[in-house]
């Protein structure tokens, strides 16, 4: 079966919005390589559909330039996607790229200090009732779970910074981001149950679910236990650092306010 047919069998909606997180090394070898997979994804959503991928900056120390800065750390497919004709890329260190009728909406300016809130590309995919496709990666790579954390109002944070241009000059912003090791996002595999479709695309395991189902499943648990995604104290440095946002950093970090937007 070719990737286009595999994506259709998995349940990718024609005419829908599809947010893709991918480890291409797990999908390959594939006819046409990166461009072949992009073409298969575009064919799966069809001309009325919109394809979305993460496109975050590789370098927090340099001002983000959406026309030149690579995003290799989120995968070779994502780094190729933003460079392909017709793709729009948001102008933010936490950029996403999109192609299709909803691309302009998805890539509108979004806050630097709330990378994955409701007013962000994955938040807009949620609003548009899009789907999330994980190719060769698990839910630990799923930025939509962070949207659920934002909606739940979790208090944990990690100190972060980003460099943006302000009045033509580089400016460093320091803020607290809802982030941690994300390993426990794997709990979504059980929580989603039959609302998640699993299969194979190329040589990679694939997961597909509605963004709204992912957020609903995560929210239900976060409202019972704010730290359900964090490891027990002392077992994970990243999670311990995030918990400092609850224990003593409330006055230092902002939550839900925009430090800056890039347009």
Instruction: Kindly write down the DSSP assignment for every residue of 217-244, as one continuous string.
Output: HHHHHHTT-TTTTSPPTTS-HHHHHHHH
In a domain, 174, yes or no: yes
* Cβ-count burial 65-98 (b if 16+ within 10 Å, e if not): ebeebebeebbbbbbbbbeeeebbbbbbbbbbbb
Domain that holds residue 59: 3-247
**pLDDT at residue number 28:** 96
The per-residue pLDDT for range 185-202, each reduced to its tens digit, is: 999 999 999 999 999 999
**pLDDT at residue number 164:** 84
Q: Running DSSP on this structure, what letter comes out for residue 186?
A: G
Confidence band, pLDDT 50/70/90 cuts, at residue 263: very low
The answer to whether the CB of 113 falls within 8 A of the CB of 171 is: no
Q: What is the mean pLDDT of residues 114-140?
A: 97
In a domain, 94, yes or no: yes
The answer to whether the CB of 97 falls within 8 A of the CB of 56 is: no
Other C-beta atoms lying within 10 Å of the C-beta of residue 28: 17
In a domain, 253, yes or no: no
Number of domains in the chain: 1
pLDDT at 257 > cutoff 80: no
Q: What is the mean pLDDT of residues 211-215?
A: 98
Report cis status (omega within 30 of 0) of the bond before 29.
yes
The per-residue pLDDT for range 49-100, each reduced to its tens digit, is: 999 999 999 889 999 999 999 999 999 999 999 999 999 999 999 999 999 9
Question: In a 3-state reduction of DSSP, which class is residue 84?
Answer: coil
In a domain, 206, yes or no: yes
**Nearest Cα residue to 26 out of 106, 111, 138, 112:** 138
In a domain, 86, yes or no: yes
In a domain, 146, yes or no: yes
pLDDT at 258 > cutoff 80: no
In a domain, 262, yes or no: no
In a domain, 127, yes or no: yes
Range in 65-74, 149-158, 170-179, 203-212 with the lowest mean pLDDT: 170-179
């Amino acid at each position: 079966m070719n990737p286009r047919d595999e994506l259709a069998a998995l349940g990718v909606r024609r005419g829908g919005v599809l947010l893709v997180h991918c480890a291409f090394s797990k999908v390959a070898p594939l006819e046409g390589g990166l461009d072949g997979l992009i073409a298969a994804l575009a064919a799966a959503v069809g001309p009325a559909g919109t394809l979305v991928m993460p496109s975050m900056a590789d370098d927090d120390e340099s001002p983000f330039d959406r026309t030149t800065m690579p995003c290799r750390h989120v995968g070779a497919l994502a780094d190729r996607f933003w460079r392909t004709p017709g793709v729009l890329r948001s102008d933010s260190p936490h950029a996403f790229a999109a192609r299709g009728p909803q691309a302009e909406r998805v890539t509108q300016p979004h806050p630097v200090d709330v990378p994955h809130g409701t007013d962000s590309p994955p938040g807009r995919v949620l609003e548009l009732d899009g789907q999330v496709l994980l190719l060769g990666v698990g839910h630990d790579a799923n930025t939509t779970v962070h949207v659920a954390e934002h909606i739940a109002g979790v208090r944990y944070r990690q100190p972060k910074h980003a460099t943006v241009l302000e009045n033509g000059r580089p400016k460093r912003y320091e803020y607290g981001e809802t982030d941690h090791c994300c390993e426990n996002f794997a709990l979504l595999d059980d929580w989603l149950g039959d609302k998640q479709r699993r299969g194979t695309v190329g040589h990679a395991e694939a997961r597909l679910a509605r963004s709204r189902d992912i957020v609903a499943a995560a929210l239900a648990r976060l409202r019972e236990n704010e730290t359900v995604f964090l490891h027990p104290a002392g077992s994970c440095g990243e999670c311990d650092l995030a918990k400092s946002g609850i224990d003593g950093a409330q006055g230092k970090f902002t939550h839900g306010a925009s430090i800056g937007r890039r347009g």
